Structure 1
Amino acid sequence: MREISLDRLRTLVVIADLGSFAQAARALNLAPPTVSLHIADLEARIGAPLLSRKRGQVRPTAIGETLLERARRLLTDVEQALDDVQRQVQGLAGRVRLGASTGAIAHLLPQALDILGVQHPGIDVQVQVLTSSESLARLQDGSLDIGLVALPQAAIKGLEIRPWRRDPIMAFIPSSWSPPARISPGWLASRALILNDNSTQLSRVTSDWFASAGLQPPARIQLNYNDAVKSLVAAGYGATLLPHESAAPEHDPRICMRPLRPGLWRHLGIACRQGEVEQGTRFVLQVLMSQVAKS
């Protein structure tokens, strides 16, 4: 089955609007025989006349009116689609898919998204809760544009991972436990613990911290949602090790936050695909990187 060309539909619309083949040829910058050929092709495809000539005036037939109504909507939709795509190419609009942990989403992204909303209001950042490994996998398969990931990460072909920020890892302990001023692996290992599971970089970092003192304490519960973990700490269920972002709000008075001895840090990076990225993604990356100096 032959497809109907948009150019031929546009020719039909212009002829109907101007009431003349000759005027339509001038408006479309086409030779008059080409305009006639467009209409002949359409009529052959439809199997019925689309235009009639009466007293020198060209008018659509009843079937022509039906096709014109659809053609106008279709051409308008095409123009809108091209305009939307062009705005996305220019970075004036579009969607950017970003993956991050719950902690980063709650405490690190809001300020960047506020700035982006002022500077580039047409960009829609769609945030997904993902572990670092999930973000990297989705970047590779093309279903994600930016990932906030824990460092270090092994080099991955086709991806660029740049350092972003460093936050101290602190002990969050029920206030009723009366913890010391600084927390050592030995002191913490003898208590009930709420820790991330081993799918996270934080789990590996904290395991190494305990291992440096020859310890491997079991977790009472493993949970990867930081706010939920803090709620359990506040209820006296156990202690935990979590990064402390400077932008985080004051914590619950039922929780004591203590530095570690030896100190421990959570390093975050920004991952994206190598090479040219869409302008909207580039704007989001620029805003995120501008936050490094303020972190």
Structure 2
Amino acid sequence: MRELSLDRLRTLLAVHDLGSFAAAARALHLAPPTVTLHVAELESRLGTRLLVRGRAAVVATGTGMLLIERARRVLAEADEMIDALKRQVAGTAGRVRVGASTGAIAHLLPQALQALRAEHPQIDVQVAVLTSEETLARLSAGTLDIGLVALPQPPVAGLRVQRWRRDRVMAFVPASWAAPKRVTPAWLAVQPLILNDAGTRLSRLCAEWFAAGGQHPRARIELNYNDAIKSLVAAGYGATLLPHEASAPSPEPRIRMLPLQPALWRPLGLAHRSGEPDGATQHVLRVLAGIG
């Protein structure tokens, strides 16, 4: 059996509720023969009578009444779905799916979500913890709406990546260590190191910084969670290189945060699919741009 048309179901309800085909035609702005055809198509597909003409009005058969009761729920859900989609397009409500690394989620994204909640509390942001490569792949596949990605990124057809912000990369060392005021590749390379996982853009960025100073150190451990890395630094296990956003709080007393020589920056971009995003996505992009 082919799927039942929502328009045909609306016609059936109108005939039943108004009591006549003529009244339903006027209410639905349809020609009377069209109303008759809609009901006839439903009866043909279901193989049974749905309405009968009584003395005073058209009434439903037992099967017709069962269909009418179910149709009311289906049409109400369909109307609710359309309203939700309209709110999404208009930007007053909706769901926006964001992909970001653990570093961005730790401090940058919460700022944006707080501002968004104050302005548009009905926009639901769903966050996935992903690498930049995973984020771009999911954007291309249509399973994400916005990505916070490390730069640079190769061009991807159908995606737009714009520069968002850059944050200074700092050395985080145990406070008990004797460290220089500015940390160089040569000094840091001989210390116990806790670095980001080799598959991340930050790992490659730090490796390039070491290599520019003629150093190629190996880490004691590689992690992809900045809070866990900082906990190990505080425990004296080793030193690390991490971005520090200007508005982020200072590290705890057991950690010293020191500038690098030469300086190193972590650039980030905002990625989304090409074309005009829906209203909800535009609001999230605007809020994110505000903290860039």
Asked if TM exceeds 0.5, the reply is yes
Counterparts of 2:40 and 2:135, CA distance in 1: 54
User: Secondary structure at the residue paired with 1:55?
Assistant: coil
Residue aligning to 2:117: 117
Counterparts of 1:64 and 1:280, CA distance in 2: 41
Change (3 A) 1:287 1:6: same
Q: Deviations over 1:119-141 (max 9, x none)?
A: 22222111111111221222222
Q: Measure how far apart 1:198 and its partner are.
A: 2.3
The runs of 5 or more residues in structure 1 that have no matched partner are: none
Q: Measure how far apart 1:21 and its partner are.
A: 2.1
Residue aligning to 1:256: 256
Counterparts of 1:42 and 1:218, CA distance in 2: 72
Change (3 A) 1:5 1:183: closer
Residue aligning to 1:223: 223
- Range with bigger deviation, 142-151 or 50-59: 50-59
Counterparts of 1:273 and 1:2, CA distance in 2: 35
- Range with bigger deviation, 3-12 or 63-72: 3-12
Superposition RMSD in Å: 1.7
Residue aligning to 1:267: 267
Residue aligning to 1:29: 29
User: Secondary structure at the residue paired with 1:246?
Assistant: coil
Residue aligning to 1:212: 212
Counterparts of 1:84 and 1:204, CA distance in 2: 43
Q: Deviations over 1:58-88 (max 9, x none)?
A: 2222222112111211221221121122221
Runs (4+) of structure 1 exceeding 6 A deviation are none
Residue aligning to 1:236: 236
Residue aligning to 2:38: 38
User: Secondary structure at the residue paired with 1:176?
Assistant: coil
Residue aligning to 1:14: 14
Residue aligning to 1:174: 174
Counterparts of 1:274 and 1:43, CA distance in 2: 46
Residue aligning to 1:55: 55
Counterparts of 1:72 and 1:81, CA distance in 2: 14
- Range with bigger deviation, 230-239 or 204-213: 204-213
% same residue: 62
Counterparts of 2:3 and 2:132, CA distance in 1: 47
Residue aligning to 2:162: 162
Q: Which amino acid aligns with 2:272?
A: C
User: Secondary structure at the residue paired with 1:52?
Assistant: strand
Q: How does 1:62-81 map to 2 (within 5 A)?
A: 62-81=62-81
Q: Is structure 2 residue 277 aligned with structure 1 residue 280?
A: no
User: Secondary structure at the residue paired with 2:169?
Assistant: strand
Q: Measure how far apart 1:177 and its partner are.
A: 1.0
Counterparts of 2:14 and 2:51, CA distance in 1: 12
User: Secondary structure at the residue paired with 2:206?
Assistant: helix
Residue aligning to 2:106: 106
Q: Which amino acid aligns with 1:206?
A: C
The runs of 5 or more residues in structure 2 that have no matched partner are: none
Q: Measure how far apart 1:173 and its partner are.
A: 0.5
TM-score for both structures, normalised by structure 1: 0.93
Change (3 A) 1:89 1:62: same
Change (3 A) 1:242 1:66: same
Q: Deviations over 1:156-215 (max 9, x none)?
A: 332222111121111100111122211122211111011113212221221122222211
Q: Measure how far apart 1:110 and its partner are.
A: 1.2
Q: Which amino acid aligns with 2:207?
A: S
Counterparts of 2:129 and 2:31, CA distance in 1: 58
Counterparts of 2:180 and 2:2, CA distance in 1: 81
Counterparts of 2:209 and 2:21, CA distance in 1: 82
Residue aligning to 2:84: 84
Residue aligning to 1:126: 126
Q: Which amino acid aligns with 1:10?
A: R
Q: How does 1:185-196 map to 2 (within 5 A)?
A: 185-196=185-196
Residue aligning to 2:135: 135
Q: Which amino acid aligns with 1:88?
A: Q
Q: Which amino acid aligns with 1:181?
A: K
Counterparts of 1:35 and 1:171, CA distance in 2: 75
Residue aligning to 2:147: 147
Counterparts of 2:124 and 2:203, CA distance in 1: 32
Q: Measure how far apart 1:2 and its partner are.
A: 4.3
Counterparts of 1:3 and 1:109, CA distance in 2: 43
User: Secondary structure at the residue paired with 1:87?
Assistant: helix
